[in-house]
Amino acid sequence: MNWYKKAQNLYEINKNDYVNFDNDFYNSLSENDQNIYWQILRKKRKEWENAITRALATGKILPQKALEMGYTEIVEPNYRNENYSISGHGNLSVLPSPLYHVTTAKDSVISSQLKTREELSQSGGAGLGGGSSNTISFTSDLGVAKDIYRTLLEGKRAIAGKLTIKEMTLQAQQGAGAQKPWDKEFVEAFKSNIGPKSLEEINNYVNSDYQEAKTTMFPETLEGFRTTNIWGKENPKEWSPVESSRTENSVPPKYRQFILSV
């Protein structure tokens, strides 16, 4: 039996009409077919939610209509706030014009339009941003778009070895691309990996044979990390803790990050 029928305009169909669980039909199936049935329902539910999300974003339906159709991502306005919102994304509002999107896949975008991570079958983001896998990030600020573009080019230069850590620290001290020096922010960015260091220490660290620090899900003692952790057991004597990751009042001391010197 064909359990899956795709509608042409899903945003015109109520959720329960498109993703309808038939209990009697489900109970008549074998265990294997029940699993297939659930997979089909999950796929249909995701397609319906994506269709509603796109319809909201493009103004084809209003928030209240989406709520009535069964869309659960919208938070209804309270008496103090007349705006509808989506959890984690802020209030729904009319999109400004123009909008900007920076990409490293210009030719693909021109030929097949912008696509979400889900549409590209990506489990994780391939760009700079995060956000939901069924959305696309834009900015209405041309300055922000230019900054994103600039950082993509800088990243390419750094990977190719054409932009050294020494040049980066000098840029931070001089405030390149900003209204004031940003060396403090530069140091802070490295703190999670190597602890509180000076610019000179960061230079030495990056130019040394140190590897990235490893972060554990739960705090561990140095001995515990060296003997039980999959990374720690490889070169146990070479691992040392990152002091800034030490948990308070732990005896013996426990840490969330460890660094390897080879």
**Same domain, yes or no, for 168 and 225?**
no
Which residue did the predictor score with more confidence, 141 or 82?
141
**Same domain, yes or no, for 201 and 219?**
no
**Same domain, yes or no, for 200 and 219?**
no
Peptide bond into 252 cis (omega under 30): yes
Burial degree of 242 (CB within 10 A; 0-12, 13-18, 19+): buried
Q: Select from 28, 57, 91 the last residue of a domain.
A: 91
Q: Which two tokens stand for residue 183?
A: 């060396």
Please provide the DSSP assignment of 60-91 as one string. SS-HHHHHHHT--SEEPP-TT----EETTTEE
pLDDT single digits (tens) 220-251: 888 888 888 777 777 777 788 888 788 877 78
Domain extent at residue 253: 214-260
Look at the chain and report how many structural domains it folds into: 3
In angstroms, the CA 168 to CA 171 distance is 5
Q: What is the reported pLDDT for 100?
A: 92
Per-residue pLDDT band at 5 (split at 50, 70, 90): very low
Range from 67-71, 174-178, 233-237 carrying the lowest mean pLDDT: 233-237
**Same domain, yes or no, for 180 and 234?**
no
Q: What is the reported pLDDT for 88?
A: 62
pTM of the predicted model over 0.85: no
**Same domain, yes or no, for 150 and 187?**
yes
Q: Can you tell me which residue has the tokens 């999107």?
A: 101
**Same domain, yes or no, for 16 and 70?**
yes
Domain assignment present for 124: no
pLDDT single digits (tens) 160-175: 888 888 888 888 888 8
Assign 3-state DSSP to the chain and report helix, strand, coil percentages, each to 5.
Answer: 45, 10, 45
Q: Which two tokens stand for residue 25?
A: 């039909």
Domain assignment present for 38: yes
**Same domain, yes or no, for 245 and 200?**
no
**Same domain, yes or no, for 189 and 232?**
no
Domain assignment present for 108: no
**Same domain, yes or no, for 14 and 87?**
yes
Domain assignment present for 51: yes
Average pLDDT, integer, range 163-191: 83
Q: Whose CA is closest to 239, among 261, 220, 221, 217?
A: 261
In angstroms, the CA 233 to CA 250 distance is 23
Domain assignment present for 188: yes
Q: Is 6 helix (H, G, I), strand (E, B) or coil?
A: coil
Which residue did the predictor score with more confidence, 13 or 57?
13
Domain assignment present for 151: yes
Domain assignment present for 129: no
Q: Which two tokens stand for residue 3?
A: 């359990």
**Same domain, yes or no, for 83 and 24?**
yes
**Same domain, yes or no, for 190 and 237?**
no
Domain assignment present for 80: yes
